[in-house]
Protein backbone atom coordinates (compact mmCIF):
# COMPACT_ATOMS: atom_id res chain seq x y z
CA UNK A 1 0.00 0.00 0.00
CA UNK A 2 2.94 2.32 0.65
CA UNK A 3 3.85 2.19 -3.06
CA UNK A 4 0.39 3.52 -3.93
CA UNK A 5 0.93 6.62 -1.79
CA UNK A 6 4.47 7.12 -3.12
CA UNK A 7 3.28 6.92 -6.73
CA UNK A 8 0.33 9.20 -5.98
CA UNK A 9 2.73 11.73 -4.46
CA UNK A 10 5.00 11.57 -7.50
CA UNK A 11 2.05 12.09 -9.84
CA UNK A 12 0.80 15.04 -7.79
CA UNK A 13 4.26 16.62 -8.03
CA UNK A 14 4.22 16.05 -11.80
CA UNK A 15 0.86 17.80 -12.06
CA UNK A 16 1.97 20.67 -9.82
CA UNK A 17 5.22 21.26 -11.74
CA UNK A 18 3.85 20.67 -15.23
CA UNK A 19 4.18 23.62 -17.59
CA UNK A 20 1.11 25.53 -18.66
CA UNK A 21 -0.50 24.22 -21.79
CA UNK A 22 0.87 25.41 -25.12
CA UNK A 23 -2.08 24.09 -27.11
CA UNK A 24 -3.46 27.11 -28.97
CA UNK A 25 -6.99 27.11 -30.34
CA UNK A 26 -8.88 30.03 -31.86
CA UNK A 27 -12.12 28.62 -30.43
CA UNK A 28 -10.86 28.79 -26.83
CA UNK A 29 -11.64 32.54 -26.86
CA UNK A 30 -15.32 31.74 -26.29
CA UNK A 31 -17.10 30.86 -23.04
CA UNK A 32 -14.76 29.23 -20.50
CA UNK A 33 -12.53 27.83 -23.24
CA UNK A 34 -12.10 24.42 -24.80
CA UNK A 35 -13.89 21.87 -22.62
CA UNK A 36 -11.91 18.74 -21.70
CA UNK A 37 -14.66 16.41 -20.49
CA UNK A 38 -13.33 13.17 -22.02
CA UNK A 39 -11.16 11.14 -19.65
CA UNK A 40 -8.01 9.46 -21.01
CA UNK A 41 -8.54 5.77 -20.19
CA UNK A 42 -9.15 2.37 -21.75
CA UNK A 43 -12.03 3.72 -23.83
CA UNK A 44 -9.75 6.25 -25.62
CA UNK A 45 -9.08 3.69 -28.36
CA UNK A 46 -12.83 3.27 -28.85
CA UNK A 47 -13.45 7.01 -29.43
CA UNK A 48 -14.24 7.35 -25.70
CA UNK A 49 -17.31 5.15 -26.10
CA UNK A 50 -17.85 3.85 -22.57
CA UNK A 51 -21.25 4.79 -21.11
CA UNK A 52 -22.37 1.15 -20.92
CA UNK A 53 -18.98 -0.46 -20.16
CA UNK A 54 -17.69 -1.65 -16.80
CA UNK A 55 -14.17 -1.05 -15.57
CA UNK A 56 -11.99 -4.17 -15.47
CA UNK A 57 -9.10 -5.19 -13.19
CA UNK A 58 -6.32 -2.70 -13.93
CA UNK A 59 -8.37 -0.52 -16.28
CA UNK A 60 -10.83 2.17 -15.23
CA UNK A 61 -13.46 3.48 -17.65
CA UNK A 62 -14.45 6.90 -16.33
CA UNK A 63 -17.33 8.04 -18.51
CA UNK A 64 -20.03 6.49 -16.31
CA UNK A 65 -19.47 6.65 -12.53
CA UNK A 66 -21.32 3.35 -12.13
CA UNK A 67 -18.51 1.65 -14.06
CA UNK A 68 -16.26 1.81 -11.00
CA UNK A 69 -17.79 -1.33 -9.42
CA UNK A 70 -16.07 -3.45 -12.09
CA UNK A 71 -12.73 -3.06 -10.30
CA UNK A 72 -11.21 -5.95 -8.35
CA UNK A 73 -11.98 -6.07 -4.64
CA UNK A 74 -9.34 -5.21 -2.02
CA UNK A 75 -6.91 -3.65 -4.52
CA UNK A 76 -5.98 0.04 -4.56
CA UNK A 77 -5.14 1.53 -7.93
CA UNK A 78 -3.43 4.76 -9.00
CA UNK A 79 -3.97 6.01 -12.58
CA UNK A 80 -2.16 8.57 -14.72
CA UNK A 81 -3.31 9.81 -18.12
CA UNK A 82 -1.03 11.74 -20.51
CA UNK A 83 -2.16 13.23 -23.82
CA UNK A 84 0.01 14.65 -26.61
CA UNK A 85 -1.50 16.56 -29.53
CA UNK A 86 -0.38 18.26 -32.72
CA UNK A 87 -2.70 20.58 -34.66
CA UNK A 88 -2.40 22.25 -38.04
CA UNK A 89 -4.66 25.22 -38.83
CA UNK A 90 -6.23 26.21 -42.15
CA UNK A 91 -7.86 29.57 -42.87
CA UNK A 92 -7.55 32.91 -44.64
CA UNK A 93 -5.51 34.50 -41.86
CA UNK A 94 -3.28 31.50 -41.20
CA UNK A 95 0.38 31.76 -42.18
CA UNK A 96 3.63 29.95 -41.41
CA UNK A 97 3.95 31.59 -37.98
CA UNK A 98 0.61 30.39 -36.65
CA UNK A 99 -0.18 27.34 -38.79
CA UNK A 100 0.54 24.63 -36.20
CA UNK A 101 0.92 23.90 -32.51
CA UNK A 102 1.72 20.95 -30.26
CA UNK A 103 1.52 20.02 -26.61
CA UNK A 104 1.98 17.18 -24.10
CA UNK A 105 -0.11 17.41 -20.94
CA UNK A 106 -1.00 15.36 -17.87
CA UNK A 107 -4.76 14.99 -18.26
CA UNK A 108 -5.79 12.88 -15.29
CA UNK A 109 -4.56 11.49 -11.99
CA UNK A 110 -6.72 9.37 -9.70
CA UNK A 111 -6.57 6.81 -6.91
CA UNK A 112 -9.30 4.18 -6.66
CA UNK A 113 -10.27 1.12 -4.65
CA UNK A 114 -13.11 -1.39 -4.45
CA UNK A 115 -13.65 -1.40 -0.72
CA UNK A 116 -16.08 -4.33 -0.55
CA UNK A 117 -18.28 -6.40 -2.83
CA UNK A 118 -20.76 -3.57 -3.31
CA UNK A 119 -18.84 -0.28 -3.12
CA UNK A 120 -15.94 1.25 -5.07
CA UNK A 121 -14.60 4.77 -4.68
CA UNK A 122 -12.17 7.06 -6.52
CA UNK A 123 -10.76 10.57 -6.12
CA UNK A 124 -8.88 12.44 -8.83
CA UNK A 125 -7.89 15.57 -10.69
CA UNK A 126 -8.00 16.61 -14.35
CA UNK A 127 -8.26 19.77 -16.48
CA UNK A 128 -11.81 20.90 -17.26
CA UNK A 129 -11.03 23.56 -19.88
CA UNK A 130 -8.10 25.45 -21.34
CA UNK A 131 -7.69 28.88 -22.91
CA UNK A 132 -4.80 29.82 -25.20
CA UNK A 133 -5.22 32.20 -28.14
CA UNK A 134 -3.61 35.25 -29.70
CA UNK A 135 -4.75 37.55 -32.51
CA UNK A 136 -4.41 41.15 -33.73
CA UNK A 137 -7.25 43.57 -34.43
CA UNK A 138 -7.82 47.27 -34.96
CA UNK A 139 -9.66 49.18 -32.22
CA UNK A 140 -11.36 52.56 -32.17
CA UNK A 141 -12.50 54.44 -29.08
CA UNK A 142 -15.81 56.32 -29.12
CA UNK A 143 -15.23 60.06 -29.16
CA UNK A 144 -11.65 59.74 -30.46
CA UNK A 145 -10.50 59.89 -34.11
CA UNK A 146 -7.53 57.61 -33.35
CA UNK A 147 -7.23 53.97 -34.36
CA UNK A 148 -5.18 51.61 -32.20
CA UNK A 149 -3.53 48.30 -32.99
CA UNK A 150 -4.58 45.70 -30.43
CA UNK A 151 -2.94 42.41 -29.54
CA UNK A 152 -5.48 40.16 -27.81
CA UNK A 153 -4.26 37.14 -25.86
CA UNK A 154 -5.86 34.62 -23.54
CA UNK A 155 -4.50 31.96 -21.23
CA UNK A 156 -5.47 29.85 -18.22
CA UNK A 157 -8.31 27.41 -17.77
CA UNK A 158 -10.41 25.53 -15.23
CA UNK A 159 -9.49 22.49 -13.14
CA UNK A 160 -11.67 19.61 -12.02
CA UNK A 161 -11.37 17.73 -8.70
CA UNK A 162 -13.75 14.77 -8.46
CA UNK A 163 -14.93 12.08 -6.07
CA UNK A 164 -16.64 9.08 -7.67
CA UNK A 165 -18.59 6.33 -5.90
CA UNK A 166 -20.04 3.22 -7.53
CA UNK A 167 -22.48 0.76 -5.96
CA UNK A 168 -23.44 -2.76 -7.08
CA UNK A 169 -27.11 -3.64 -6.60
CA UNK A 170 -27.19 -7.38 -7.18
CA UNK A 171 -25.52 -9.07 -10.15
CA UNK A 172 -27.02 -6.99 -12.95
CA UNK A 173 -27.32 -3.36 -11.87
CA UNK A 174 -24.73 -0.77 -10.84
CA UNK A 175 -25.30 2.84 -9.83
CA UNK A 176 -22.79 5.64 -9.45
CA UNK A 177 -22.39 9.31 -8.59
CA UNK A 178 -19.53 11.72 -9.29
CA UNK A 179 -19.23 14.94 -7.27
CA UNK A 180 -16.94 17.57 -8.78
CA UNK A 181 -15.49 20.89 -7.72
CA UNK A 182 -14.50 23.04 -10.71
CA UNK A 183 -12.24 26.03 -10.23
CA UNK A 184 -9.60 28.15 -11.96
CA UNK A 185 -8.94 31.46 -13.66
CA UNK A 186 -8.96 32.78 -17.23
CA UNK A 187 -6.87 35.78 -18.29
CA UNK A 188 -7.82 38.09 -21.17
CA UNK A 189 -5.02 40.51 -22.09
CA UNK A 190 -5.30 43.54 -24.41
CA UNK A 191 -2.15 45.37 -25.53
CA UNK A 192 -2.80 48.65 -27.39
CA UNK A 193 -0.21 50.50 -29.51
CA UNK A 194 -0.30 53.34 -32.05
CA UNK A 195 -2.98 56.00 -32.26
CA UNK A 196 -0.73 58.61 -30.65
CA UNK A 197 0.14 56.46 -27.62
CA UNK A 198 3.66 57.11 -26.34
CA UNK A 199 3.87 53.60 -24.84
CA UNK A 200 1.94 50.35 -24.76
CA UNK A 201 -1.21 50.18 -22.62
CA UNK A 202 -1.85 46.68 -21.27
CA UNK A 203 -5.20 45.74 -19.75
CA UNK A 204 -5.69 42.33 -18.13
CA UNK A 205 -9.09 41.05 -17.07
CA UNK A 206 -8.96 37.93 -14.90
CA UNK A 207 -12.06 35.80 -14.31
CA UNK A 208 -11.93 33.52 -11.25
CA UNK A 209 -14.45 30.66 -11.50
CA UNK A 210 -15.64 28.09 -8.97
CA UNK A 211 -18.61 25.78 -8.51
CA UNK A 212 -19.87 22.23 -8.01
CA UNK A 213 -21.21 19.76 -10.54
CA UNK A 214 -22.79 16.32 -10.12
CA UNK A 215 -23.20 13.27 -12.36
CA UNK A 216 -25.38 10.23 -11.75
CA UNK A 217 -25.11 7.03 -13.78
CA UNK A 218 -26.41 3.49 -14.09
CA UNK A 219 -25.35 0.33 -15.94
CA UNK A 220 -27.53 -2.75 -16.39
CA UNK A 221 -26.09 -5.93 -17.88
CA UNK A 222 -27.36 -9.46 -18.49
CA UNK A 223 -26.80 -12.50 -20.69
CA UNK A 224 -28.75 -12.90 -23.91
CA UNK A 225 -27.64 -16.51 -24.35
CA UNK A 226 -24.58 -18.68 -23.72
CA UNK A 227 -22.27 -16.57 -25.92
CA UNK A 228 -23.72 -13.05 -25.92
CA UNK A 229 -24.15 -10.46 -23.20
CA UNK A 230 -25.63 -6.95 -23.42
CA UNK A 231 -25.24 -3.83 -21.30
CA UNK A 232 -27.22 -0.60 -21.17
CA UNK A 233 -25.79 2.56 -19.64
CA UNK A 234 -27.03 6.02 -18.91
CA UNK A 235 -25.73 9.16 -17.22
CA UNK A 236 -27.25 12.52 -16.28
CA UNK A 237 -25.06 15.56 -15.50
CA UNK A 238 -26.65 18.34 -13.49
CA UNK A 239 -27.07 21.93 -14.57
CA UNK A 240 -24.61 24.00 -12.52
CA UNK A 241 -23.54 27.60 -12.09
CA UNK A 242 -19.87 28.50 -11.90
CA UNK A 243 -19.55 31.70 -9.89
CA UNK A 244 -17.29 34.31 -11.46
CA UNK A 245 -15.28 37.07 -9.80
CA UNK A 246 -13.65 39.48 -12.26
CA UNK A 247 -10.72 41.85 -11.71
CA UNK A 248 -8.94 44.43 -13.93
CA UNK A 249 -5.27 45.42 -13.95
CA UNK A 250 -3.95 48.18 -16.26
CA UNK A 251 -0.27 49.04 -16.83
CA UNK A 252 1.41 51.72 -18.96
CA UNK A 253 5.16 52.14 -19.49
CA UNK A 254 5.70 49.35 -16.97
CA UNK A 255 3.86 51.29 -14.26
CA UNK A 256 0.59 50.17 -12.68
CA UNK A 257 -2.39 52.40 -13.47
CA UNK A 258 -5.02 50.11 -11.93
CA UNK A 259 -4.33 47.07 -9.73
CA UNK A 260 -6.86 44.24 -9.31
CA UNK A 261 -9.88 46.49 -9.55
CA UNK A 262 -12.98 44.43 -8.82
CA UNK A 263 -15.52 44.36 -11.63
CA UNK A 264 -19.05 43.01 -11.56
CA UNK A 265 -19.51 39.40 -10.46
CA UNK A 266 -21.40 36.93 -12.60
CA UNK A 267 -21.64 33.25 -13.46
CA UNK A 268 -21.23 30.77 -16.28
CA UNK A 269 -23.85 28.02 -16.48
CA UNK A 270 -23.01 24.42 -17.34
CA UNK A 271 -26.08 22.70 -18.81
CA UNK A 272 -27.96 19.51 -18.21
CA UNK A 273 -26.19 16.79 -20.17
CA UNK A 274 -27.43 13.29 -21.03
CA UNK A 275 -25.43 10.22 -22.07
CA UNK A 276 -26.75 6.87 -23.24
CA UNK A 277 -24.95 3.77 -24.47
CA UNK A 278 -25.39 0.13 -25.40
CA UNK A 279 -22.85 -2.66 -25.81
CA UNK A 280 -22.83 -6.29 -26.95
CA UNK A 281 -20.10 -8.73 -25.94
CA UNK A 282 -19.42 -12.12 -27.51
CA UNK A 283 -17.80 -14.77 -25.29
CA UNK A 284 -16.08 -12.04 -23.30
CA UNK A 285 -13.69 -11.44 -26.19
CA UNK A 286 -15.34 -9.11 -28.71
CA UNK A 287 -17.27 -6.01 -27.64
CA UNK A 288 -19.32 -3.65 -29.82
CA UNK A 289 -20.51 -0.41 -28.25
CA UNK A 290 -22.31 2.82 -29.23
CA UNK A 291 -22.77 6.10 -27.28
CA UNK A 292 -24.85 9.25 -27.69
CA UNK A 293 -24.37 12.51 -25.74
CA UNK A 294 -26.62 15.57 -25.71
CA UNK A 295 -25.94 18.90 -23.98
CA UNK A 296 -28.73 21.46 -23.45
CA UNK A 297 -26.60 24.59 -24.02
CA UNK A 298 -29.10 26.61 -26.05
CA UNK A 299 -29.06 30.26 -24.87
CA UNK A 300 -28.21 29.48 -21.23
CA UNK A 301 -25.27 31.93 -21.38
CA UNK A 302 -25.01 35.29 -23.16
CA UNK A 303 -22.96 35.11 -26.33
CA UNK A 304 -21.19 37.86 -28.23
CA UNK A 305 -21.59 39.83 -31.42
CA UNK A 306 -20.60 36.94 -33.67
CA UNK A 307 -21.18 33.87 -31.51
CA UNK A 308 -23.77 32.11 -29.38
CA UNK A 309 -24.27 28.80 -27.61
CA UNK A 310 -26.36 26.00 -29.08
CA UNK A 311 -27.18 22.43 -28.09
CA UNK A 312 -24.28 19.99 -28.43
CA UNK A 313 -24.28 16.38 -29.62
CA UNK A 314 -21.76 13.55 -29.87
CA UNK A 315 -22.15 10.10 -31.45
CA UNK A 316 -19.44 7.47 -31.17
CA UNK A 317 -19.00 3.76 -31.79
CA UNK A 318 -16.23 1.36 -30.86
CA UNK A 319 -15.11 -2.24 -31.04
CA UNK A 320 -12.70 -4.11 -28.80
CA UNK A 321 -10.96 -7.48 -29.21
CA UNK A 322 -9.64 -9.06 -26.03
CA UNK A 323 -6.87 -11.68 -26.00
CA UNK A 324 -7.53 -14.09 -23.17
CA UNK A 325 -5.47 -16.85 -21.54
CA UNK A 326 -6.00 -19.52 -18.90
CA UNK A 327 -4.39 -18.80 -15.52
CA UNK A 328 -4.87 -20.96 -12.43
CA UNK A 329 -7.94 -22.51 -14.01
CA UNK A 330 -9.50 -19.10 -14.74
CA UNK A 331 -9.83 -16.96 -17.85
CA UNK A 332 -7.72 -13.79 -17.71
CA UNK A 333 -7.16 -10.97 -20.18
CA UNK A 334 -3.62 -10.59 -21.50
CA UNK A 335 -4.03 -7.71 -23.96
CA UNK A 336 -6.62 -6.00 -26.16
CA UNK A 337 -7.00 -4.03 -29.37
CA UNK A 338 -9.68 -1.39 -29.94
CA UNK A 339 -10.92 1.01 -32.62
CA UNK A 340 -13.60 3.67 -32.87
CA UNK A 341 -15.26 6.49 -34.82
CA UNK A 342 -16.97 9.66 -33.62
CA UNK A 343 -18.77 12.77 -34.81
CA UNK A 344 -19.64 15.78 -32.67
CA UNK A 345 -21.30 19.18 -32.72
CA UNK A 346 -19.90 21.56 -30.11
CA UNK A 347 -21.82 24.08 -28.04
CA UNK A 348 -20.33 26.96 -30.07
CA UNK A 349 -21.97 28.63 -33.05
CA UNK A 350 -19.67 31.24 -34.59
CA UNK A 351 -20.74 33.47 -37.47
CA UNK A 352 -23.77 31.25 -37.98
CA UNK A 353 -21.72 28.04 -38.17
CA UNK A 354 -21.89 25.38 -35.44
CA UNK A 355 -18.38 24.08 -34.80
CA UNK A 356 -18.36 20.40 -35.75
CA UNK A 357 -15.74 17.66 -35.74
CA UNK A 358 -15.16 14.00 -36.51
CA UNK A 359 -12.35 11.48 -36.20
CA UNK A 360 -11.13 7.92 -35.74
CA UNK A 361 -9.17 6.15 -33.01
CA UNK A 362 -7.22 2.93 -32.43
CA UNK A 363 -5.86 1.58 -29.17
CA UNK A 364 -3.87 -1.23 -27.62
CA UNK A 365 -3.28 -2.21 -24.00
CA UNK A 366 -2.10 -4.91 -21.65
CA UNK A 367 0.01 -5.63 -18.59
CA UNK A 368 3.67 -4.80 -18.12
CA UNK A 369 3.76 -6.72 -14.82
CA UNK A 370 1.36 -8.14 -12.25
CA UNK A 371 0.54 -4.70 -10.91
CA UNK A 372 1.20 -2.37 -13.84
CA UNK A 373 -1.17 -1.96 -16.81
CA UNK A 374 -0.96 0.37 -19.78
CA UNK A 375 -3.18 1.70 -22.55
CA UNK A 376 -2.01 3.38 -25.77
CA UNK A 377 -4.38 5.14 -28.15
CA UNK A 378 -4.05 7.41 -31.16
CA UNK A 379 -6.69 9.70 -32.63
CA UNK A 380 -6.85 11.61 -35.88
CA UNK A 381 -9.58 14.11 -36.61
CA UNK A 382 -10.81 17.39 -38.05
CA UNK A 383 -12.65 20.24 -36.36
CA UNK A 384 -14.08 23.55 -37.53
CA UNK A 385 -14.78 24.96 -40.97
CA UNK A 386 -13.42 27.44 -43.52
CA UNK A 387 -16.90 28.89 -44.11
CA UNK A 388 -17.36 32.59 -43.20
CA UNK A 389 -13.63 33.08 -42.70
CA UNK A 390 -13.40 30.62 -39.78
CA UNK A 391 -10.55 28.25 -38.94
CA UNK A 392 -10.32 24.50 -39.52
CA UNK A 393 -8.16 22.29 -37.30
CA UNK A 394 -6.61 19.01 -38.44
CA UNK A 395 -5.12 17.17 -35.48
CA UNK A 396 -3.32 14.02 -34.36
CA UNK A 397 -3.40 12.94 -30.74
CA UNK A 398 -1.88 10.14 -28.67
CA UNK A 399 -2.95 8.96 -25.22
CA UNK A 400 -0.91 7.01 -22.67
CA UNK A 401 -2.68 5.69 -19.58
CA UNK A 402 -0.81 3.89 -16.79
CA UNK A 403 -2.37 2.04 -13.85
CA UNK A 404 -0.61 0.55 -10.86
CA UNK A 405 -2.41 -1.80 -8.44
CA UNK A 406 -1.49 -3.06 -5.01
CA UNK A 407 -3.26 -5.02 -2.29
CA UNK A 408 -5.22 -2.70 -0.03
CA UNK A 409 -6.16 -5.38 2.45
CA UNK A 410 -6.75 -9.10 2.05
CA UNK A 411 -8.38 -10.40 5.27
CA UNK A 412 -6.23 -13.48 5.05
CA UNK A 413 -6.70 -14.02 1.32
CA UNK A 414 -3.54 -14.33 -0.74
CA UNK A 415 -3.05 -12.70 -4.14
CA UNK A 416 -0.56 -13.97 -6.68
Spell out the domains of the chain, with CATH numbers in brackets: 2-407 (2.40.160.60)
68 versus 263: the higher-pLDDT residue is 68
Residues in the chain: 416
Query: Can you tell me the mean pLDDT for 112-135?
Result: 91
From CA 91, how far away is CA 394, in angstroms rounded?
Answer: 12
Q: Residue 16: its pLDDT value, please?
A: 46
- Please report which confidence band the pLDDT of residue 96 belongs to, taking 50, 70 and 90 as the band edges: low
How, if at all, do strands 312-327 and 392-407 pair?
Answer: unpaired
Give the pLDDT score at 17: 45
Q: Which residues pair with 199 in a beta bridge?
A: none
Phi-psi region of 107 (alpha: psi -120 to 50; beta: other; left: phi over 0): alpha
pLDDT score of 414: 47
Determine which of 5-19, 154-168, 251-265 has the lowest per-residue pLDDT on average: 5-19
Q: Positive or negative, the Cα torsion across 338, 405, 84, 308?
A: positive
Q: How confident is the model at residue 350 (pLDDT cuts 50, 70, 90)?
A: very high
Q: Please tell me the distance from the alpha carbon of residue 279 to that of residue 75, in angstroms, as a whole number.
A: 27
Question: What are residue 102's DSSP bridge partners?
Answer: 86
Nearest to 393 by CA among 37, 131, 94, 82: 94
pLDDT at 320 over 90: yes
Cα end-to-end span (Å), the chain? 15
Given pLDDT bands bounded at 50, 70 and 90, which one contains residue 178? Answer: very high
pLDDT for the residue 329:
57
Mean pLDDT over 111-132 rounds to: 92
Per-residue pLDDT, 23:
57
Amino acid 241: pLDDT: 95
Pairwise CA distance, residues 36 & 60, whole Å: 18
Q: 98: pLDDT confidence band, cut at 50, 70 and 90?
A: low
pLDDT in tens, 321-349: 998 776 655 666 789 999 999 999 999 99
How many helices and strands in the chain, by DSSP H and E? 1, 19
Tell me the pLDDT tens digit for each residue of 200-209.
888 899 999 9
Three-state secondary structure call for residue 197: coil
pTM of the model: 0.88
Task: List, for residues 22-66, the tens digit of each pLDDT value.
Answer: 557 788 888 898 898 888 999 999 999 999 999 988 889 999 999
Amino acid sequence: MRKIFILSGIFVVLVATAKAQNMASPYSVYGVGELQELHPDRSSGMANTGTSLMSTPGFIINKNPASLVGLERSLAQVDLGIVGKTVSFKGNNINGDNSSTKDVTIKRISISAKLNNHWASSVGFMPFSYVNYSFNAQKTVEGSPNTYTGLYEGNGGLKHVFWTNGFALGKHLALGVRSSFIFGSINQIETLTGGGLSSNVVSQVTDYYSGFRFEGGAIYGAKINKNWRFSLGGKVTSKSDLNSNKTLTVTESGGVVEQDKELSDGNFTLPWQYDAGISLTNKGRTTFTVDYTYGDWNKINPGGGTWTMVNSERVSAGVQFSRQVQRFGMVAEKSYFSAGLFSDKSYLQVKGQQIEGYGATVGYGGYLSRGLAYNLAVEAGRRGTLTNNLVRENYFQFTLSLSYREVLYSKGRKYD
